[in-house]
Amino acid sequence: MDIREINEKIQQESAFIDLLNLELGKVIIGQKYMLDRLLIGLLSNGHLLLEGVPGLAKTLAIKSLSSAIYAKFSRLQFTPDLLPADLIGTLIYNQKQEQFTVRKGPLFANFVLADEINRAPAKVQSALLEAMQERQVTIGDETFKLPEPFLVLATQNPIEQEGTYPLPEAQLDRFMLKVVIKYPSKEEEKLIIRQNIAQEFPKINPIIEADTIVKARHAVREVYMDEKIEKYILDIVFATRFPKENNLRKLDSMISYGGSPRASINLALAAKAYAFIKRRGYVIPEDVRAICHDVMRHRIGLTYEAEAENITTDDVINEVLNIVEVP
Amino acid sequence: MRNLILKCFLICSLMPLSFLSMSQGVVAIMKLDTNIVVVGQPFSLELSITQPKDAKLIWPFISDSIGLLEVIKNDGVDTIPVDDKSILLRTQKVTMMAFDTGFFTIPGFTIDYKLQNATAKVYTDPLTVKVFLMPVDTTKSIKDIHPIQDVPYDWMFIGLIGLGVLVLVVIIWLVVRYLKKAKKRDDVAKVILAPKQSAYEIAMNSFEQLKQEEIWQQGDVKKYYSELTEIVRAYIQNRWMIPALEFTSYEILEHAFIKQIDATENEKLVYLLRLADLVKFAKAMPYLSEHELSFINAIQFVDSTTPPAEKEMLNQKGGEA
């Protein structure tokens, strides 16, 4: 397809983004960064892991998003005594019919907020992550497809680690983005105070059909990505794997493992989705750089040496971006 | 006579039986390493008990002192292996000291034991120690105690310490030097070294080369714009010492150096980078005139942002050549 046609198509298909942002902006003050990432996850069929202290509108954001999109929302508070059946559902014996009937769990929703995912034991985490990957759930002998679109937004609290079950690296890799949410600015927080004191909470109206999202997902995949951008993505991912060979000798002792092939795939997909929400039919290096931290930060392993020196994966990614030549 | 013969027979027949009971019974022996000591001289007392393996006995408790004799060290009970596996030899050694003169008696111990469901006792003999003072020669005058003696200098030892310190200093110096070198190596990519040629000279030579290569004329428009923008980026990097080759177009246009340049030149740079991005990443195909215009814009941008002195220098060089 010609690039002009792609561009026009993207312009057309992405028109709802402005509408959605306008609607979400009614209740969520600031947090543009988080909302953009939510849309990237939604449009590229990926799931998000949100990390941030409590009270940063994580729940409100996903709730508002589901309200704006004719979609079903469910929230799961992960606790140490949660069981996989509490999540996916179970078989219940019906005395009248004298047979087992399926009772679907809260996972059967378009938008699932898994609050404090690291509070539940590994078996529950695995059940959720399996459903995220397979997009289907098996209860008894029957397999059920999860509704489309299906977006899981898991949250983690970075300050309380006692009594938690940290997600293993292999499971972290299944999240497309790990978004670190920061505090709102002073101006934004002033507006939040005013809105809360006045108890003025505008209602979000459903404006987008779930089908529009499914269509938009196809359009995202059609966003043009030049070979140069593909090479740029690979250069970044390979620099995290082999820092020594990429003039990053300093990082050699800091990185225990670099980005997986899933990192390259998700970086490309997320860059396309970012270009889409910027209403462009092609990817530019800015798109890659904009989402690079969110895609890569949970896919790079740091050594004890790096941790001792208080070096974070974000620092490593910054170093990599500073050294990899932009096409 | 008959009685005597009968007695002898009885003694001879019972003798082996008595040995048998002794070998199967418990034997306790207590002994001193010496029984004449000077006041304050340590001496040791050893209690040894030989017993059958199945005998159970109550080991005598030795407290901190036995009469006026003080126990300064108690080694505890130790079992020593013997050839006969059915017998155990257990000993306890204590070191003692006396601080008074005279004869001191260490009373014997009574050891209760149980063997083959029968209880019995075994005793050790009491021991005597004589404690005396060193004889003092009162005919001689009283002497002062010895003064503190100076330790002679051990030059060998001092030399070794000095050598060790020297080696340590050399090792630290080598490690610091290595780390500094390694850091420098790492920073090579970051530090943008000023090229031998001037930024202007490099850019102009590259433009000339690009013109001669006639890339867009051969149909490779994408390569042409990639190389054209790379020359401009390299120029910005050399001129303002910023890593422009690792910057995106947006980052270059947002950088602080932009404020130093004229608005017209800024517009030319914006046009060039934006158009090049469209060609490189969005398959855009500009008009032929735009290729020429981009080239001219790039040269003009470089030309107008170069100080006149630098240009003169290049002209002089050209004249000399």
Angle ∠(A124,A127,A128) on CA atoms, nearest 5: 90
Q: Domain of residue A171: give its range.
A: 3-80+110-117+146-195+207-212
Cα of A108 to nearest chain B Cα, Å:
40
Structure tokens at B70: 């003080």
Test B284 with A3 for CB contact under 8 angstroms: yes
Give CA–CA dist A156/A140, Å, rounded. 31
Same domain, A185 and A257: no
pLDDT at site A131: 86
- Closest approach of chain A CAs to the CA of B188, in angstroms? 8
Q: What is the ipTM of this complex?
A: 0.70
pLDDT of residue B23: 40
- The CATH number of residue A63's host domain is 3.40.50.300
Q: Are residues A165 and A18 in the same domain?
A: yes
- Cβ of A286 within 8 Å of Cβ of B250? The answer is yes
Secondary structure in 3-state letters for chain B: CHHHHHHHHHHHHHHHHHHHHHHHCCEEEEEECCCEEECCCCEEEEEEEEEECCCEECCCCCCCEECCEEEEEEEEEEEECCCCCCEEEEEEEEEEEECCCEEEEECCCEEEEEECCEEEEEECCCEEEEEECCCCCCCCCCCCCCCCCCCCCCHHHHHHHHHHHHHHHHHHHHHHHHHHHHHHHHHCCCCCCCCCCCHHHHHHHHHHHHHHHCCHHHCCHHHHHHHHHHHHHHHHHHHHCCCHHHCCHHHHHHCHHHHHCCHHHHHHHHHHHHHHHHHHHHCCCCCHHHHHHHHHHHHHHHHHCCCHHHHHHHHHHHHHC
Alpha carbons A65 and A131: distance in angstroms, whole number:
21
Closest CA–CA distance from residue B295 to any residue of chain A (Å): 19
Does A312 map to a domain? yes
**A310 shares a domain with A165:** no
Amino acid, res. B94:
V
| Placement of tokens 């849309």 in the chain | A39
Q: What angle do CA A46, A49, A52 make, to 5 degrees?
A: 150
Instruction: List, in sequence order, every beta strand (DSSP E) within chain A.
Output: 48-51, 73-77, 89-94, 99-104, 111-115, 136-139, 142-145, 151-156, 177-180, 255-257, 301-302
Cβ–Cβ contact A192 with B under 8 A:
no
CATH of the domain at A247: 1.10.8.80
Q: What is d(CA B55, CA A326) in angstroms, rounded to the nearest whole number?
A: 90
Q: Is residue A93 situated within a structural domain?
A: no
Determine the pLDDT at residue B5. 64
Query: Is residue A326 within 8 Å of A232, Cβ to Cβ?
Result: yes
Is A191's Cβ below 8 Å from some Cβ in B? no
Q: Please state which CATH number belongs to domain B22-132.
A: 2.60.40.10
Q: What is the pLDDT of residue B21?
A: 36
Q: Which residues of B touch A282 (CB under 8 A)?
A: 281-283
A42 with A160, same domain?
Answer: yes
- Interface check for B188 against chain A (CB to CB < 8 A): the answer is yes
What is the domain partition of chain B in residue ranges?
A: 22-132, 199-320
- Across the interface, whether the CB atoms of A247 and B189 are under 8 A apart is answered yes
Q: Are residues A164 and A269 in the same domain?
A: no
Tell me how long chain B is. Answer: 321
Pair B312, B200: CB distance under 8 Å: no
Give the C-alpha separation, A228 to B230, whole Å: 14
Q: What is the pLDDT of residue B15?
A: 43
Identify the helix (H) or strand (E) that includes residue A194: helix A186-197
pLDDT score, position B130: 94
Query: Among partner residues B248, B283, B284, which is closest to A285 by beta-carbon distance?
Result: B248
B134 touches chain A (CB under 8 A): no
- The type of residue at B68 is L
CB atoms under 10 Å from CB of B272, counted, come to: 22
> Are both A189 and A231 inside the same structural domain?
no
Q: Do A326 and B247 touch (CB under 8 A)?
A: yes
What phi and psi values does residue B96 have, to the nearest 5 degrees? -125, 170
pLDDT for position B150: 86
Please, which residues have CB within 8 angstroms of residue A136's CB and are 6 or more apart in sequence? A143, A144, A145, A146
| pLDDT tens-digit readout, A189-238 | 888 888 788 777 778 888 888 888 888 888 888 888 988 899 999 999 99
pLDDT of residue B210: 87
Give the 3-state secondary structure of residue B254.
helix
Cα–Cα dist A129/A115, whole Å: 14
Number of domains in chain A: 2
Please give the structure tokens belonging to residue A37: 């990432």
- Residue A149, preceding peptide bond in cis (omega within 30° of 0): yes
Residues of chain B with Cβ-Cβ distance to A255 below 8 Å are none
B27/B122 Cα distance (integer angstroms): 7
Go through chain A and tell me how many residues it has. Answer: 327
Residue B147 tokens, joined: 């003064």
Which residues have C-beta within 8 Å of that of residue A283, sequence separation ≥ 6? A223, A224, A225, A226, A229, A271, A272, A274, A275, B281
Q: Cβ contact (<8 Å) for B281 and A228?
A: yes
pLDDT of residue B14: 44
Residue A33 contacts B, CB cutoff 8 Å: no
Say how many C-beta atoms besides its own lie within 10 A of residue B133's C-beta: 10
Per-residue pLDDT of chain B (321 residues), as tens digits, is 566 565 555 554 544 433 333 445 889 999 999 999 999 999 999 999 998 888 888 899 888 998 889 999 998 899 887 877 888 899 999 999 999 999 999 999 999 988 888 888 899 999 999 999 888 888 888 888 888 888 888 899 999 999 999 999 999 999 999 998 887 766 554 555 555 678 888 888 888 888 888 888 888 888 899 889 999 999 988 888 888 888 888 888 888 777 788 888 888 888 888 888 888 888 888 888 888 888 988 888 888 888 887 777 777 766 555
How confident is the model at residue A166, as a pLDDT? Answer: 81
- Predicted pLDDT of residue B195: 58
pTM of the model: 0.64
A165 and A302 part of one domain? no
C-beta atoms surrounding A188 within 10 Å: 15
Q: Is B192 on the interface with A (CB under 8 A)?
A: no
Q: Which residues of chain A have pLDDT under 70?
A: 1, 160-162
Non-local CB neighbours of B155 within 8 Å, separated by 6+ positions = none
Q: Which of B236, B299, B247 is nearest to A322 (CA)?
A: B247
Instruction: Indicate whether A317 and A232 sit together in one domain.
Output: yes
Distance from B282 to chain A by nearest Cα, in Å? 6
Domain assignment present for residue A133? The answer is no
* Nearest chain A alpha carbon to B277: A284
A5 CB within 8 Å of a chain B CB: no
Whether A105 is in a domain gets the answer no
The reported pLDDT for the residue numbered B18 is 36
Say if A71 is an interface residue toward chain B (CB within 8 Å): no
> How high is the pLDDT of residue B1?
55
